[in-house]
């Protein structure tokens, strides 16, 4: 695979877009040219949660029409169509299958707010159909499909914008420019937190899906043996075939910010690991509710990440980012602290460059201009951020049980990692009250990764490479890179 850096992305062409081989039931095509006063017609896929935000956000933009809403749940679909017609969207159509909307040559853009396992395939299909795509985080459910989504963007020249709203924040853009310009010295660790309280999901027995749900369409590319009620409509986040845990759920926002601060000439980490567990809840979920992950780049910079979901008295909610510098200085909650000092000063930087209009408005602006580079959080940036989370999760999935104690982390001589894991362990032990007896962490191995080939190398490579690409159901396959 080409060694594409953050700086040379988007040498896009539309030549391949006119190749004219069948897609679904239509043809592959270039994006429709949208005039300054033309209505942008959008299809919204996935109508719970973020889908409602998509509808509200895009209806708040001038000359935007919701042409289609898409959901495999008949009740959700009909309720949404009825609601939109009351809001003046008289021509909106409701369909269960996204391919029906993509076949409509008058649709300009697809927005994707489905479960994670659908994100890349809908993005790829949308690009092949000549539709601009706004895709919720994470853009990919695994490493390989994310690269193919990037290839689809490059080939068909559509705008792809990732649903990481912080990419539209000029303040964060300015902060990261100052960091990369060396205002506080060399960045050593870019740290993200996804610490928001959640609860257990209990157990639901396998059974028949409800009559209003097209289960085959809901699954789409995800190979899931049996239906149970915890998949629909939110708790799919906590199962590996459909979700990525909170690390690449809410955490995608903070993980993307953390990766954004890394030097521009870096692409992927060269190694990553994670340690954590699913404590207290004793439920059906598979993904960790507690995790410390880390990744190291070729230049030595590191990304740390902290997931902490178990509620307790005195819980400290942290959905934020911190920055640690080689000279010992740090930025925490917008305040810079020099080495060894508890007295800091509020960080003040110039605004950075983003496409204005917030996440919704900037996407419409980029679509009207037909310029993928205007997306606040483009396909390649999305891929870089998502991969870091996938590597951490894959380390965890390949981990083994170790005693629940502060020495459980396998950080070698990395004192920073040991210190920050120690803080997490103290919260779980003294705060949550997880007893040492009969409790264990899952400690993942260090996974080495080649940024150019996007494949694992060295010890654990065979097992880790199997996690780079999920199996897909017939009819919903992610295309091979050469066949995008």
* pLDDT tens-digit series, residues 219-263: 999 999 999 999 999 999 999 999 999 999 999 999 999 999 999
The verdict on domain 181-352+384-479 having CATH code 3.30.360 is: yes
Residues shown for the chain: 484
Please count the CA atoms within 13 angstroms of the CA of 220 that sit on its side-chain side: 22
What mean pLDDT comes out for the span 171-190? 98
Rounded Cα distance between 303 and 210, Å, is 42
**In this model, does residue 449 exceed pLDDT 80?**
yes
Task: Note the pLDDT of residue 440.
Answer: 98
What mean pLDDT, rounded, does the chain reach?
Answer: 94
The residues spanned by each domain of the chain are: 15-167+358-378, 181-352+384-479
Query: Over 80: is that where the pLDDT of 17 sits?
Result: no
Instruction: Render pLDDT for 277-298 as a digit per residue (tens, 0 to 9).
Output: 999 999 999 999 999 999 999 9
Q: Which of the four pLDDT bands, split at 50, 70 and 90, describes residue 410?
A: confident
201 pLDDT band, cuts 50/70/90, is: very high
Cα–Cα distance list, 179 to 37, 176, 221, 318 (Å): 40, 5, 40, 22
- Residue 316: the pLDDT is 95
> Could you tell me if residue 427 is left (phi over 0), alpha (psi between -120 and 50 degrees) or otherwise beta?
alpha
For 120-148, write each residue's pLDDT tens digit.
Answer: 999 999 999 999 999 999 999 999 999 99
Contact 197, 317 (CB under 8 A): yes
Q: Report percent pLDDT > 90 for the chain.
A: 91
The answer to whether residue 25 scores a pLDDT higher than 60 is no
Residues in CB range of 225: below 8 A, 6 or more apart: none
Average of per-residue pLDDT across 57-79? 98
Q: How confident is residue 158, by pLDDT bands cut at 50, 70 and 90? A: very high
Say whether pLDDT at 110 is over 80: yes
Determine the topology of domain 15-167+358-378 in CATH: Rossmann fold (3.40.50)
Q: Percentage of the chain surpassing pLDDT 70?
A: 94
The predicted structure's pLDDT at residue 191: 98
What gap in Å lies between CA 75 and CA 113, rounded to an integer? Answer: 17
Q: Is the pLDDT of residue 19 over 50?
A: no
Q: State the pLDDT at residue 7.
A: 37
**CA–CA dist 224, 222 (Å, integer):** 6
Angstrom distances, CA of residue 304 to CA of 63, 322, 360:
42, 10, 29
């Amino acid at each position: 695979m080409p060694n594409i850096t953050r700086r040379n992305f988007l040498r896009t062409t539309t030549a391949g877009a006119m190749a004219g081989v069948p897609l679904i039931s239509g043809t592959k095509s270039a994006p429709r040219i949208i005039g300054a006063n033309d209505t942008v017609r959008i299809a919204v896929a996935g109508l719970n949660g973020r889908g409602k935000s998509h509808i509200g956000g895009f209806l708040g933009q001038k000359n935007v029409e919701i042409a289609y809403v898409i959901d495999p749940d008949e009740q959700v679909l009909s309720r949404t169509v009825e609601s939109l017609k009351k809001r003046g969207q008289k021509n909106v159509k409701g369909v269960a299958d996204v391919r029906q909307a993509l076949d409509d040559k008058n649709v300009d853009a697809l927005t994707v707010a489905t479960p994670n396992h659908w994100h890349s395939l809908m993005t790829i299909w949308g690009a092949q159909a000549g539709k601009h795509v706004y895709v919720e985080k994470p853009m990919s459910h695994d490493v390989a499909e994310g690269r193919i989504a990037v290839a689809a963007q490059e080939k068909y020249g559509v705008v792809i914008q990732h649903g990481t709203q912080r990419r539209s924040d000029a303040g964060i853009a300015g902060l990261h420019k100052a960091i990369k310009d060396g205002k506080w010295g060399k960045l050593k660790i870019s740290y993200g937190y996804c610490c928001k309280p959640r609860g257990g999901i209990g157990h639901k027995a396998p059974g028949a899906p409800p009559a209003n749900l097209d289960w085959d369409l809901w699954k789409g590319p995800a190979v899931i043996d049996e239906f149970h009620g915890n998949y629909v409509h939110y708790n799919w986040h906590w199962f590996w075939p459909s979700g990525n845990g909170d690390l690449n759920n809410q955490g995608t926002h903070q993980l993307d910010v953390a990766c954004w601060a890394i030097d521009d000439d870096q692409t992927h980490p060269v190694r990553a690991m994670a340690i954590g567990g699913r404590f207290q809840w004793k439920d059906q979920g598979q993904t960790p509710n507690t995790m410390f992950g880390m990744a190291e780049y070729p230049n030595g910079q590191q990304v740390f990440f902290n997931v902490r979901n178990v509620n307790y008295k005195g819980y400290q909610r942290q959905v934020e980012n911190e920055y640690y510098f080689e000279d010992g200085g740090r930025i925490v909650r917008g305040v810079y602290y020099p080495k060894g000092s508890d007295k800091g000063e509020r960080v003040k930087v110039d605004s950075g460059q983003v496409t204005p209009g917030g996440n919704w408005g900037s996407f419409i602006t980029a679509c009207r201009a037909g310029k993928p580079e205007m997306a606040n959080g483009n396909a390649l940036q999305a891929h870089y951020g998502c991969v870091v989370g996938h590597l951490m999760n894959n380390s965890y999935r390949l981990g083994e049980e170790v005693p629940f104690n502060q020495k459980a982390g396998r950080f070698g001589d990395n004192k920073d990692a040991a210190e920050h894991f120690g803080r997490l362990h103290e919260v779980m032990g003294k705060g949550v009250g997880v007893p040492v007896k009969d409790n264990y962490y899952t400690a993942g191995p260090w996974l080495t990764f080649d940024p150019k080939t996007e494949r694992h190398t060295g010890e654990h490579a065979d097992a880790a490479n199997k996690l780079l690409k999920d199996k897909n159901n017939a009819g919903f396959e992610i295309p091979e890179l050469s066949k995008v």
